[in-house]
Chain A
Amino acid sequence: MRTASLLFLASLLLTASTIGVHAQARLKIAFSAVCEFTNSSGKISRRTINTRSILNDAAGRAGVSAKTLSLVYHIQGDPRGDLIQVVNNSDGSVVETVFMLFYPTLNGQFDGGFVAVTNAANTYVERPLFVFGHQSSHSVGTALIRATLPPEGARKARYRIRGDLQYFMLPQGSTGVALCRGKITGAKVFVPSD
């Protein structure tokens, strides 16, 4: 994360993404992941992380009700890629950034914005992204994002996003290293209620 922050200025110089027309779109998503870790008996166990647990954890840290929060996928929420965030339902303000999904690094930092498979109309994009969390300044995995996007100039913005994540979590509390396989799905544009 520290490296990611330090590289902010450099990242502004990067080539714009190929889906510029969809900049800043935020979609409500459902998240589910199964994480495997070694339990106290030395056996490999599983635990689940989902939208509800993410919102509950964020609500606890923020001292608010989880009902006031949503989990969103923020397309191009950062010059380096996309963000998965917990936001306030009423004003859309960001409560937490759960994951940062950044373009690959090829020569400079996060200069792989062009590494995507898109159709000529830019209404479909398939993109590999590197997952960053809050435990390490380095990538903790990858995400394969497939997004159907509204045509440029469309009166109704129809999105569909699906993603498969592979990531690890470093030891925290009494839990050791965990390896996680996650999915996200979303189609509804997030609109603050205020």
Chain B
Amino acid sequence: MTRFLAPALGLAVLASIPAAAQQQLPVKVRGSGTTTDASGDVVRFGLNNDTIIDLCAPGGSTNGFELVYELDSDANGDALKVVDAESGATVCVPFLLYVPTINAVFDGHHVVVNSADGKQSKRLYYLFSNQVGTSVGTALVDKRFSFDRNGNTNRVSITAEFRFFRLPENGEGVKVCSGRLSVDHRIKSPAQ
């Protein structure tokens, strides 16, 4: 159930893609959600980078903030972070993407489908939001890596299909959301 979030963060082993470890990669989010309006009707709304950033400061300006996907954010997986566009400093973390729990908390690092050439890696991550300590959804994440002739990672592409819920907040009811995120990031080698 991946339910004991905070106490056991240090128990899991490190993830397996050191070449791109802890890089903050610009991400594009597209999706939609549903909620119930004041009339009792089910209404649909769009989901994009700004709506995710808005989870940090509801109703505030999203100017000056950027949404990034952070690979190997901690020992349990990746993160979707809002950062200051200039300094890169973390403003808030709307979503953590953590490996599954099999027996102990977040011990499912082996739940991964890798290609032997190291160019592709797929995982099912559990999403944790800034609302509650238990999982609020999942994301099927497909990571692809390209390497230069020296074996250094020079391109990271990530696509993911996600779904999550939001508990009632700011006078609004439960929201059920789904969508896709994508990252396409070229990494310049030192020689370039």
Chain A residues packing against B (C-beta within 8 Å) = 3, 36-38, 41-44, 104-106, 109, 114-121, 124, 126-128, 130, 136, 138-142, 144, 164, 166-168, 170, 176-179, 181
Chain A residues near B136 (CB-CB < 8 A): 104, 128
0/1 string, B123-167, CB within 8 A of A gives 1: 110100000101111111000000000000000000001011101
**A105-B134, A144-B178, A166-B139 are known contacts; what are 18 more A-B pairs with Cβ within 8 Å?**
A38-B114, A38-B116, A41-B116, A44-B120, A106-B134, A116-B174, A117-B42, A117-B173, A119-B40, A120-B39, A128-B137, A128-B164, A138-B100, A138-B102, A139-B101, A168-B124, A178-B113, A179-B111
Inter-chain contact A106/B120, CB cutoff 8 Å = no
Q: Name B139's closest neighbour in chain A (CB-CB).
A: A166
Inter-chain contact A144/B36, CB cutoff 8 Å = no
**5 intermolecular pairs with C-beta atoms under 8 Å apart:** A105-B134, A105-B135, A117-B173, A136-B102, A144-B178
Count: A-B pairs, CB below 8 Å: 121
**Known contacts A43-B116, A144-B163: A130-B42 contact under CB 8 Å:** no
Inter-chain contact A119/B124, CB cutoff 8 Å = no
Chain B residues packing against A (C-beta within 8 Å) = 1-3, 34-36, 39-42, 100-103, 110-117, 120, 122-124, 126, 132, 134-140, 161, 163-165, 167, 173-176, 178
Chain B residues near A181 (CB-CB < 8 A): 140, 161
**Known contacts A119-B41, A138-B1: A44-B102 contact under CB 8 Å:** no
**Known contacts A117-B176, A124-B42: A142-B138 contact under CB 8 Å:** yes
Inter-chain contact B135/A42, CB cutoff 8 Å = no
A42–B176 CA distance with the chains assembled, in angstroms: 37
Inter-chain contact A166/B34, CB cutoff 8 Å = no
A108–B176 CA distance with the chains assembled, in angstroms: 21
Inter-chain contact B39/A114, CB cutoff 8 Å = no
Inter-chain contact B1/A139, CB cutoff 8 Å = yes
Chain B residues near A121 (CB-CB < 8 A): 40
A141–B40 CA distance with the chains assembled, in angstroms: 30
Inter-chain contact A177/B161, CB cutoff 8 Å = no
Inter-chain contact B124/A117, CB cutoff 8 Å = no
Chain A residues near B2 (CB-CB < 8 A): 138-139
Chain B residues near A140 (CB-CB < 8 A): 100
Chain B residues near A36 (CB-CB < 8 A): 113, 122
**Known contacts A3-B1, A117-B42: A141-B138 contact under CB 8 Å:** yes
Q: Among B124, B126, B132, B175, point to the contact of A179 (Cβ < 8 A).
A: B124
Inter-chain contact A118/B36, CB cutoff 8 Å = yes
Inter-chain contact B134/A104, CB cutoff 8 Å = yes
Q: Name A35's closest neighbour in chain B (CB-CB).
A: B113
Chain A residues near B132 (CB-CB < 8 A): 106
- The distance from the CB of B174 to the nearest CB of chain A, in whole angstroms, is 6
Chain A residues near B116 (CB-CB < 8 A): 38, 41-43
- The distance from the CB of A49 to the nearest CB of chain B, in whole angstroms, is 15
Inter-chain contact A142/B1, CB cutoff 8 Å = no
Chain B residues near A130 (CB-CB < 8 A): 1, 135
Chain A residues near B140 (CB-CB < 8 A): 166, 179, 181
Chain A residues near B1 (CB-CB < 8 A): 3, 105, 109, 130, 138-139
Inter-chain contact A177/B110, CB cutoff 8 Å = yes
- The distance from the CB of B163 to the nearest CB of chain A, in whole angstroms, is 5
A3–B134 CA distance with the chains assembled, in angstroms: 16
Chain A residues near B135 (CB-CB < 8 A): 104-105, 130, 139
A56–B41 CA distance with the chains assembled, in angstroms: 42
Chain A residues near B40 (CB-CB < 8 A): 119-121
Inter-chain contact B100/A115, CB cutoff 8 Å = no
